[in-house]
Amino acid sequence: MNDENPSESLPPSPEIPEPVNRPMRSVRREHAACDALRTFLRDLHESRFGRVLPRQEEAELVLKLKARPGEDWALSFHPSLGEQLTAQLDDWQAGRNVYREGRAYCFRCDTSECEHARPASPLEVFKEYAPNGMPEWHELAQALLAAGDDRVDRLYREGGGIVAMFQPGRLLRSRQLSSFGRSSRTYAILAQVAAGFFQMARGATGETAPRLAVSFQAVEGRGAQGELLLRLNLVAGTDPVELREQLASGWQPALYRAWKTAAQEIERLERLAREAAQGGTAESMSEILRRVPGVMRRLAESLERGGRQEARRTHHVERRRQEQRPVHKALEDVRAVAAGMAFEDEKAGTTVACGPQSRAHAFNRDGRHVTSFVLRPQAIDLRLRTRRWRVLTPEEVAEFKRRVEQYVPDQKDIAPPLS
């Protein structure tokens, strides 16, 4: 019996070709593939960032692809090869941990601490990046004029409220060169709201500055470990720390509410974008970041709506003060009441004397003060037309004054005005 393995004595099957050693062809093809990928990567980087090399000398790039042997080993990339490499180049190129609260990044000086990183005046907002990557600033009124926004007159009109203008990020970097950070994620402004004027709290900058404009910037950056950062940055011509303290102390409550709501939404998008970057969601990171402008548009609407409410409250309080509603003016106005400005209120059973600055004072039939209030000329006309009021004759006015004067000693604690 032959102990030899039968398989060793059989000739190779004609259906299974013998392996052919072709190392040189494989090496050449590998070199060609690497060279094609290297050229593609170099050109892609240069198209986004110019000839400025990344800060790190070396980085690991990861590609995801699928192969289909049944289709002659066809390859497919999802996302596309360009999209995969672009996202990783952005991270590679971006400066890490350079975000500073209350400051824009200056690509010319390569820092957020230079003099260009903040506006020089409380009235200025972020205009755009210059071609060399330096932040430029201009007054909010000029920003509105440059944008053809006809709301500029509201900035200087009493009770005009807050004007908030939305601006997409691409507009703010339209002049910026690629070699000076146009596509960089070191400090990428995704959208901005330029808003003002906010009445500053006394002492917010150590000196009295009556009005403040603020640039609300939705910013994409990178943290110390290269992780995605999304922030709502408040940039203004005042100290950032003091501005935060003023907001927390109750100064401009409408501004605080609008800012906090938008900041919380930006934080949520940051969390979702990080999960997407790690492949944990079906939605891509770029799709999530495209939601940011919507958040900023809503912020602009909230600022203006809150500003109108605040203006109405402020105007009411200021009007009461300026119109001198305090009732110590009652006796003075009665003594100097002009002809035709004293009336009988037949419905209320009182006599009303109208003085300067729309002041009005009501007295009972005995001459005791009842209340003081503000009354516009139109309201007087309406009361006369509806015959609720009747103009006193000169004799009645003289008798009215006599009755009031007899109660002067007792009217030191005169009745408080109606709210």
State pLDDT tens for residues 33-78: 888 888 888 888 777 766 667 766 787 888 888 999 988 998 888 8
pLDDT tens for 347-376 read 888 999 999 988 899 999 889 888 888 888
153 and 227 in a single domain? The answer is yes
294 and 346 in a single domain? The answer is no
CB 314 within 8 A of CB 263: no
225 and 126 in a single domain? The answer is yes
d(CA 10, CA 332): 130
Q: Which of 1-5, 82-86, 352-356 has the highest mean pLDDT?
A: 352-356
pTM: 0.59
The bridge status of strand 135-139 relative to strand 124-129 is antiparallel
Asked which of 289, 321, 353 is the last residue of a domain, the reply is: 321
252 and 162 in a single domain? The answer is yes
**Adjacent-strand bridge partners of 230:** 220
- Checking if the pLDDT of 251 tops 90, the result is no
126 and 265 in a single domain? The answer is yes
What is the pLDDT at residue 248?
A: 72
Asked which of 321, 353, 382 is the last residue of a domain, the reply is: 321
Asked which of 257, 289, 321 is the last residue of a domain, the reply is: 321
pLDDT band at 301 (very low <50, low <70, confident <90, very high): very high
Taking each helix axis from N to C end, the angle separating 253-277 and 240-248, rounded to the nearest 10 degrees, works out to: 110
Q: Which whole-number Å values give the CA distances from 88 to 35, 181, 280, in the listed order?
A: 19, 16, 17
d(CA 344, CA 352): 6
The helix/strand/coil state of 277 is: helix
pLDDT band at 94 (very low <50, low <70, confident <90, very high): low
Across the range 16-30, mean pLDDT stands at: 71
314 and 336 in a single domain? The answer is no
Question: Is 10 a member of any domain?
Answer: no
Question: Across the chain, what does the average pLDDT equal?
Answer: 82
Residue in this structure with the two tokens 């004067």, named with its chain if needed: 405
Position with higher pLDDT, 209 vs 91: 91
For residue 384, the enclosing domain spans 329-411
Q: How many domains does the chain have?
A: 3
d(CA 351, CA 170): 66
Q: Which of 5-9, 177-181, 200-204, 283-287 has the highest mean pLDDT?
A: 177-181
Instruction: Determine if residue 58 is left, alpha or beta; phi over 0 gives left, psi from -120 to 50 gives alpha, anything else beta.
Output: beta
241 and 172 in a single domain? The answer is yes
Residue 154 phi/psi, 5° resolution?
-65, -25
298 and 377 in a single domain? The answer is no
d(CA 92, CA 76): 24
- Checking if the pLDDT of 17 tops 80, the result is no
78 and 166 in a single domain? The answer is no
CB 128 within 8 A of CB 174: yes
d(CA 386, CA 379): 11
258 and 382 in a single domain? The answer is no
Q: Which whole-number Å values give the CA distances from 212 to 150, 159, 292, 391, in the listed order?
A: 20, 16, 25, 49
At 318, list the tokens: 């200021």
171 and 211 in a single domain? The answer is yes
Instruction: Determine if residue 387 is left, alpha or beta; phi over 0 gives left, psi from -120 to 50 gives alpha, anything else beta.
Output: left
Position with higher pLDDT, 248 vs 275: 275
d(CA 52, CA 150): 41
At 336, list the tokens: 């100097």
Q: Quick one: which of 175, 309, 202 has its CA closest to 253? A: 309
What is the pLDDT at residue 375?
A: 83
What is the pLDDT at residue 2?
A: 52
At 89, list the tokens: 């180049």
Query: Which H or E run contains 259?
Result: helix 253-277
| Sheet with 163-168: strands ordered across | 163-168, 188-199, 211-222, 228-236
List CB contacts of 230: < 8 A, sequence separation 6 or more.
218, 219, 220, 266, 267, 269, 270, 273, 289, 292
d(CA 30, CA 377): 91
122 and 271 in a single domain? The answer is yes
What is the pLDDT at residue 413?
A: 45
The helix/strand/coil state of 54 is: coil
pLDDT tens for 254-281 read 888 999 999 999 999 999 999 988 875 6
Question: Is 280 a member of any domain?
Answer: yes
Task: Check residue 111 and report its DSSP letter.
Answer: B
Segments in 278-413 forming alpha helices (H): 285-289, 292-322, 329-335, 377-385, 394-406
| Sheet with 369-374: strands ordered across | 369-374, 359-363, 350-354, 342-345, 389-391
Question: Is 224 a member of any domain?
Answer: yes
Question: Is 208 a member of any domain?
Answer: yes
What is the pLDDT at residue 159?
A: 67
**Helix %, strand %, coil % of the chain (to 5):** 40, 20, 40
Position with higher pLDDT, 399 vs 278: 399
pLDDT tens for 123-176 read 999 999 999 999 999 999 999 999 999 898 888 877 668 999 999 999 999 999
Q: Quick one: which of 75, 3, 68, 66 has its CA closest to 33? A: 75
Position with higher pLDDT, 298 vs 248: 298
Question: Is 221 a member of any domain?
Answer: yes
